[in-house]
Amino acid sequence: MEHPEQPRLSFFEKESDKSIDARKPLLNGDHSLERYSVLSAIPPFFFPAIGGLLYGYDIGATSGATISLESSKLSGTSWYNLSSVEIGLVVSGSLYGALIGSILAFIIADFLGRRRELITSSLLYFVGAIVTSVAPNFMILVIGRMIYGVGIGLAMHAAPLYIAETAPSQIRGRLISLKEVFIVLGMLLGYTVGSLEIDRVGGWRHMYSTSIPVSLLMAIGMWWLPPSPRWLLLGAIQGKGNTEKARETAIYCLCRLRGGGDSAPDQVDEMLNELSYVEGEKETSFRDIFQGKCLKALTIGAGLVLFQQITGQPSVLYYAATILKSAGFSAASDATRVSILLGLLKLIMTGVAVLAVDKLGRRPLLLGGVSGIAVSLFLLGSYYTFLNNAPFVAVSSLLLYVSCYQLSFGPIGWLMISEIFPWRLRGRALSIAVLVNFSSNALVTFAFSPVETLIGSGMLFVVFGEIALLALVFIYFIVPETKGLTLEEIEAKIL
């Protein structure tokens, strides 16, 4: 790979005869051009992050909704007597929809752009929530859950992309990590609404309908926000529009995103220069995703989200109520209260990660957090194997696992996949990473019970612990540090 400081005339320089030195600040770490208003930086983060909040809300609300649905007194339906398979479809319906949404994102995301993809996602959230909350029978309920899930798949693809492409590099890591806070807030909101509505007849309908006004807020906000300047420029460079017109539009959008200022034209020129430098004008093909820089980035991104799930995240939380109950916690008899307790811990630790990610960096948080995950998993394995009389070990391990996950894989996984992919392949490559995330989540969720029956709970957690050790090796040797770098610097210097 050529050194990024070697002279090469870019597309824009050929058009405007500007000096090659105009592109140096971007690649040499001088980010003084990225002036921004804090107030202006909030909306481009907040409205996409609502997509994460609605994802988390679905997780929290469904835990209470399934209890309500199965109750002969509280369901308010004649079809409350659902089988375990049917309950599984209710719970996993949004997960299946998310898988479909991830596949759709690969096909349509670059055509729609980040903003329109988020608008589409919010409308799917809206329709899915309405269909689910008014479902007259089980089949309509599952259809509504899947529609909502397609919205999840699109939102979890487009939200980190939009935030990464519009945020100033100085706070990009903090903002993308803060999206994880919104997911946890959504879970807490879902658990809270569930606990409030659990004793009402047909309460599950109210649990799901609460997301309707929130999805409308997301749609209105994304309609008001401008498109990503980087996406506009990439389309023009690839021959999908006039470059000069795209430049003027991008400057206008960047001024809105940064709160005005005279630096927007220079920043847009830098983006154009870098696009040409990385040969962004070439039309991409499916094969390109598995070659060169993108293959390296895909290895990093997909590897992180894969380890995020196969280190047992769904399974450990599955055991949470049992572990707390074994230690004599009175709240363990109430699943919603236990969930709120863990949700608060997740929220606190995610907040710590948000504050630390742009100071300590991505690698220290990943290495430290995953080390704690490995320790907690081996301790859980020991508890279920020969420390049954020491419930404090199980409780401590559970709290350590949740804390370390929210310091590392939780926020950092989504952050890394949003910033590591090359420009011209970012939309499609990220959709593959999101697909890996939801697929591995589904695999762990559905394989948990048969594997536990086969090898036992203790050995299962030991296996998860061994996978966590593999994740540590992967992070140490493969995952780079991207703290403080612009998206262009990451591509030019790291990939």
Identify the band that residue 5 occupies on the pLDDT scale cut at 50, 70 and 90.
very low
Amino acid identity for residue 305 in this structure: V
pLDDT: which is higher, 8 or 336? 336
**pLDDT surpasses 80 at 281:** no
**pLDDT surpasses 80 at 104:** yes
Please compute the mean of the pLDDT values over residues 365-391 and round it to a whole number. 90
Q: Is 8 left (phi over 0), alpha (psi -120 to 50) or beta?
A: beta
Angle CA 205–437–86, to nearest 5: 35
Residue 162: name the closest of 114, 90, 96, 110 by CA.
114
**Mean pLDDT lowest for which of 1-10, 250-259, 409-418, 429-438?**
1-10
Per-residue pLDDT at 336: 55
Q: Are 44 and 163 in contact (CB under 8 A)?
A: yes
pLDDT tens per residue across span 301-316: 999 999 998 887 777 7
Amino acid identity for residue 276 in this structure: S
Per-residue pLDDT at 144: 96
Would you state the structure tokens that stand for residue 173, as one six-digit string?
């890591």
**pLDDT surpasses 90 at 238:** no
CA distances from 192 to 196, 274, 311, 343, 489 (A): 6, 47, 28, 10, 43
Identify the band that residue 8 occupies on the pLDDT scale cut at 50, 70 and 90.
very low
CA distances from 347 to 54, 264, 359, 425, 495 (A): 16, 35, 19, 33, 33
Residue 206: name the closest of 61, 52, 50 by CA.
61
Identify the band that residue 168 occupies on the pLDDT scale cut at 50, 70 and 90.
confident
Specify the DSSP element, H or E, that contains 398: helix 391-407
Orientation angle between helical segments 409-419 and 292-310, nearest 10 degrees: 160
Per-residue pLDDT at 22: 39
**Mean pLDDT lowest for which of 144-148, 397-401, 463-467?**
397-401
Residue 307: name the closest of 211, 219, 405, 234 by CA.
405
**pLDDT surpasses 70 at 125:** yes
Specify the DSSP element, H or E, that contains 450: helix 426-455
Could you give the CA distance from residue 434 to residue 135 in angstroms, rounded to a whole number?
Answer: 29
Amino acid identity for residue 50 in this structure: I
Could you give the CA distance from residue 426 to residue 294 in angstroms, rounded to a whole number?
Answer: 9
Identify the band that residue 24 occupies on the pLDDT scale cut at 50, 70 and 90.
very low
| Phi, psi values for residue 120, rounded to 5° | -60, -45
Please compute the mean of the pLDDT values over residues 275-290 and round it to a whole number. 62
- Helix, strand, coil proportions of the chain in percent (round to 5)? 80, 0, 20
**pLDDT surpasses 50 at 438:** yes
Look over the chain and give the mean of its residue pLDDT values, rounded to a whole number: 81
Amino acid identity for residue 175 in this structure: L
Per-residue pLDDT at 420: 87
Would you state the structure tokens that stand for residue 437, as one six-digit string?
């995330």
Angle CA 168–345–192, to nearest 5: 95
Residue 376: name the closest of 405, 418, 346 by CA.
405
